[in-house]
Chains A and B, each alone.
Chain A
């Protein structure tokens, strides 16, 4: 059966269908995103994982048309938000979406915040633009949002500048700005990668609490499998611009089907904190041999085949299709279990 069309029955707020984002480069076309499809359901947290360069951030940025064109070209596909294709929106209509309906937070809060505006001004900015708040109301909103994200002394802090905030507090401020207009969708691109683990724990807890309060749907983009396991209901695994596997988070980690997902899991050291575990008894980490492909030119066969321990002749000639193996566990591989 075709796994790509069975989403109609589900309550999807965002539907991405066969999206292709290519970049023109001096030596040819780079297929950064090469036909990806997934749905974000209302109120869910969806994880997108993959190594650097797999196209996860390009997918997210394209949703908000944040990638300049040229060099990027949308070579096909659709991004439906509440049924309307965002790719057909002009700049003016897009602006009504950004920060209002769909918000985004980035990895590095220092470079995403404006150093010459106070934190309060930046938090209220989307609300000033979209809801035409006056100065006083904007400030009140900023203070309220700072309080929501757990910044002590919000009234004083609202008048401070980003450099006066610590890394964790900046990320809180970013979240406050992103949620100021109560968006329906929040895209979080590596939101905790730059933070220490105890601060990461604070930020993840905050995001999940706010999600509960506002009913926001979240797309969580990360390379940290632990973050995905603890925050996401469903996970999409990307490799070389394509989706190779999708499943409920618990299922993906207990029974990964795609050799790439399996490789990714066994290459990641896991922290074991059960008393009595002995290091000497644990398996050694396994490397995935070879390198990520360049994404230049028309790919032939499965893009993971050159690194895949299970690859056969057919993998090098034909690209496998995504198939549903039950319970919405979708995988594209000729050699992992029967279809």
Chain B
């Protein structure tokens, strides 16, 4: 048997309530609607999907930045979902998050050195120790130590992203969740992979995700539709949505006539998702069964899971 995963989410759900209309039942946005996956030690999992599929909400649920409506998050064998803030604190130290906009997540009135050192101060590392640690971190992300005295606006976008990475690395976490980091800056993350850190990489840029993920999870309207080994998922996707998604990405290596699958229409509203399989109204292969019954995420071998009636025979 495989060893205990670092992270295990079990049927995670997050429904955001909408403003109640007069004499009507209160409606909810089903942002995340039953998501289960595991993340191994030293593994990088990419979560992909289009706007509104729930991938960023999933990232925030893992970090407990928002509380789930239902379901659990297990970290290193412990259910951290309902822990008190105080008991959760040691776990918080072991998981860090990198946000989408590097500049917006850096305090403009703090110097770079203080920004990177802040988590250390927060967790009571003595100033003498933390100064040396911050210098090390600057070396590691390839910024000159002089840069510690600069303010965030004096850095380029790529360098700001690096500062965020340095801050995330400061406490030597086991897990870093990257929520839509600016694409093409993955190089600096790649360089950190040897540190024994697990990553969850939430992004809509499939090429970037392919580049850095061991395993990939594809989300659509709050649910996982396909997940497993990255090489297999990008090379031989099973779910019709994954296929359409991959074929929609414009490529510089066009091989003659492109076999693009162009989906019709927009993603339906997560307030009233379609019956059965959420993808059926846009699916070229949908049958009557898909309209009525939601397929489960089934293992089709080698821990590769897909949620589609076409692949459940």
Contact = CB atoms under 8 A, between A and B. Distances in A.
User: Is A bound to B?
Assistant: yes
Nearest to A192: B250
B303 interface: no
A224 interface: yes
Given A202-B262, A271-B207, A225 B50 contact: no
A108 B246 CA distance: 24
A284 B208 CA distance: 11
Contact of B231 (A199, A205, A279, A287): A279
B250 A226 contact: yes
A169 B187 CA distance: 35
B262 A205 contact: yes
A272 B254 CA distance: 11
Interface string B191-230: 0000000000000111110110010000000000000001
Contact of B235 (A201, A277, A285): A277
A275 interface: yes
Nearest to B214: A279
B184 A224 contact: no
A227 B235 contact: no
B236 A275 contact: yes
A202 B251 CA distance: 15
- Which residue of A197, A205, A287 has the most chain B CB atoms within 10 A of its CB atom? A197
Contact of B184 (A198, A269, A273): A269
A255 interface: no
B7 interface: no
A196 B246 contact: no
Contacts of B235: 272-277
A196 B50 contact: yes
Nearest to B255: A274
Interface string B230-262: 110011100000001111111111100010101
Contact of A196 (B190, B204, B210, B230): B204
Contacts of B254: 229-230
Contacts of A199: 50, 266
Contacts of A282: 211
A284 to B, nearest CB: 7
Interface in B161-195: 183-184, 186-187, 190
B184 A277 contact: no
Contacts of B248: 197-198, 200-201
A135 B192 CA distance: 63
A226 B183 CA distance: 14
- Which residue of A268, A270, A279 has the most chain B CB atoms within 10 A of its CB atom? A279
Nearest to A274: B235
A268 B235 CA distance: 19
A3 B187 CA distance: 38
A167 B52 CA distance: 12
Contacts of B206: 197, 271
B250 A229 contact: yes
A225 B252 contact: yes
B263 interface: yes
B51 interface: yes
Contacts of A267: 184
Contact of A204 (B50, B244, B250): B250
A259 interface: no
B156 interface: yes
B21 to A, nearest CB: 17
A201 B260 contact: yes
Interface of A: 166-169, 196-202, 204-205, 224-231, 253, 265, 267-279, 282, 284-285, 287, 291
Interface of B: 50-51, 156, 158, 183-184, 186-187, 190, 204-208, 210-211, 214, 230-231, 234-236, 244-254, 258, 260, 262-263, 266-267
5 contacts: A167-B51, A199-B50, A200-B248, A226-B252, A278-B231
